[in-house]
């Protein structure tokens, strides 16, 4: 919809720098929100916590509003990041896309294969194959921020680009594999609204209000259609114009992304984390940890991510399609591959879709995600601390 930019624009570069810092700080807030949810869910306040999530407001439960409504803003942000990076950022050329692209591909395939291998023969749990396939960029960058100058900026950019491609893969997976009970009238209404948004882009409409107005309409139609409502956020983002490099001061996309960053990092994602990380551990024993779902999710994140990301990234480098990030070592690249096993936000989100209606399996997903993500974070930190300080 907009011609590719040959070089990263100054404002896009500044947004990327703020993105890395705000996502890192937001990741720390997300950790606090997840910990708070775990504490509350296993305290005398647990009944109040779960009843509040189930309480209904305007026809939907609070949990539903968080997962389908508030997270649509998160997916809007994801869409803006993807479009900006492809048009004017670190993914604007095929050379820049090669290393994070190969890493993301391996990081989606291998975890899914590990989960499938563990859950083979069980149709009910097999549908969760995509749960360990996503990386939580806020959480991962938050952990990286704790290491300071031990990690070169080039590796942080690599992780951010990989996670953005990873998010795009998750969006495609949700659209094709976690959609059911389609309503054709609502799908047609969604398509008509999307065509209006595309037409506005093609006609050069630069004001944000019409895009956000029709975006709200699109969200409602998609919600009613059976396709997951959060995908409307991505669709709206891809229709918002970025403009030419010389017009970046008036770019609707860059302006909206700038305004949304802090809200998403410090409100939307932490609220989602608090609403979804709470799991009562009272009925969970050590034996439950080796049940197919938590085991498949935990091993998919811990082993699948590091194997898939590192091997495919190394393959791209060995084939001459990409280079090792500037100022980094193979050990540091492996450490970042380990951190990719932090799959908190998107993994919990996909888990809710895969096992909708089964509170027991969703709780098992939460346990697997928490264990896999915590172990991946610890492993990544230990490896990166041995990687040496970058001067």
Q: What count of Cα atoms within 13 Å lies in the side-chain half-sphere of residue 30?
A: 30
- The percent of residues in the chain predicted with pLDDT above 70, rounded, is 90
Residue 139 · residue 30 · CB < 8 Å = yes
Q: What count of Cα atoms within 13 Å lies in the side-chain half-sphere of residue 32?
A: 10
> How far does CA 324 lie from the centroid of its chain?
24
* Residue range 233-258: mean pLDDT, rounded: 84
* Residue range 70-87: mean pLDDT, rounded: 87
Q: What is the pLDDT of residue 312?
A: 96
Does residue 16 have a pLDDT over 80? no
Token pair in block for residue 135? 């990386």
> How far does CA 153 lie from the centroid of its chain?
21
Does residue 5 have a pLDDT over 60? no
Summary mean pLDDT of the chain: 86
Q: What is the pLDDT of residue 390?
A: 41
* Residue range 172-201: mean pLDDT, rounded: 89
Quick one: pLDDT band at residue 4, thresholds 50, 70, 90? very low
What is the distance between the alpha carbons of residues 354 and 72, in angstroms, rounded to a whole number? 18
Residues 281-323: tens digit of each pLDDT: 776 777 778 899 999 999 999 999 999 999 999 999 999 998 8
Token pair in block for residue 282? 């009272």
Quick one: pLDDT band at residue 167, thresholds 50, 70, 90? confident
Q: What is the pTM of this model?
A: 0.80
Q: Collect all residues with Cβ–Cβ distance below 8 Å to 250 and sequence separation of at least 6.
A: 206, 243
Residues 117-165: tens digit of each pLDDT: 999 988 889 999 999 988 887 778 778 777 777 778 788 888 888 888 8
Q: What is the pLDDT of residue 306?
A: 95
Q: Give the burial string for 248-280 (b: 16+ CB within 10 Å, else e).
A: beebbbbbbbbebbeebbbebbbbbbbbbbbbb
Q: Give the burial string for 196-216 (b: 16+ CB within 10 Å, else e).
A: ebeebbeeebbebeebeebbe
Does residue 3 have a pLDDT over 70? no
């Amino acid at each position: 919809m907009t011609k590719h930019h040959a070089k990263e624009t100054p404002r896009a570069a500044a947004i990327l720098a703020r993105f890395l810092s705000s996502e890192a700080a937001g990741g720390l807030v997300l950790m606090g929100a997840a910990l708070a949810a775990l504490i509350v869910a296993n305290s005398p306040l647990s009944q109040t916590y779960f009843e509040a999530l189930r309480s209904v407001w305007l026809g939907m439960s609070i949990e539903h509003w968080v997962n389908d409504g508030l997270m649509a803003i998160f997916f809007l942000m994801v869409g803006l990041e993807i479009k900006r990076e492809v048009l004017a950022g670190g993914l604007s050329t095929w050379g820049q896309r090669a290393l994070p692209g190969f890493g993301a591909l391996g990081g989606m395939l291998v975890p899914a294969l590990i989960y499938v291998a563990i859950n083979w023969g069980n149709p009910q749990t097999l549908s969760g194959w995509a749960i360990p396939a996503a990386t939580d960029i806020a959480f991962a960058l938050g952990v990286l921020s704790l290491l300071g100058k031990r990690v070169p900026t080039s590796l942080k950019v690599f992780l951010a680009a990989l996670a953005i491609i990873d998010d795009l893969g998750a969006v495609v997976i949700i659209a094709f594999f976690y959609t059911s009970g389609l309503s054709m009238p609502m799908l047609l209404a969604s398509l008509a609204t999307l065509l209006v948004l595309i037409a506005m882009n093609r006609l050069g409409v630069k004001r944000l209000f019409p895009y956000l107005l029709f975006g709200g309409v699109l969200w409602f139609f998609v919600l009613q259609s059976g396709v997951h409502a959060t995908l409307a956020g991505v669709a709206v983002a891809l229709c918002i114009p970025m403009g030419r490099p010389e017009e970046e001061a008036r770019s609707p996309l860059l302006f909206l992304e700038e305004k949304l960053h802090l809200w998403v990092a410090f409100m939307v994602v932490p609220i989602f984390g608090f609403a979804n990380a709470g799991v009562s551990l009272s009925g969970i024993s050590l034996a439950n940890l080796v049940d197919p779902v938590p085991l498949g999710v935990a091993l998919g994140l811990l082993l699948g991510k590091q194997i898939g990301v590192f091997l495919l990234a190394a393959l791209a480098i060995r084939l001459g399609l990409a280079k090792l990030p500037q100022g980094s070592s193979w050990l540091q690249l492996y450490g970042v591959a380990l951190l990719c096993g932090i799959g908190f936000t998107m993994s919990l989100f996909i888990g809710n879709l895969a096992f909708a209606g089964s509170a027991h399996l969703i709780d098992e997903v939460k346990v697997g995600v928490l264990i896999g993500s915590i172990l991946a974070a610890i492993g990544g930190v230990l490896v990166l601390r041995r990687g040496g300080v970058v001067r």
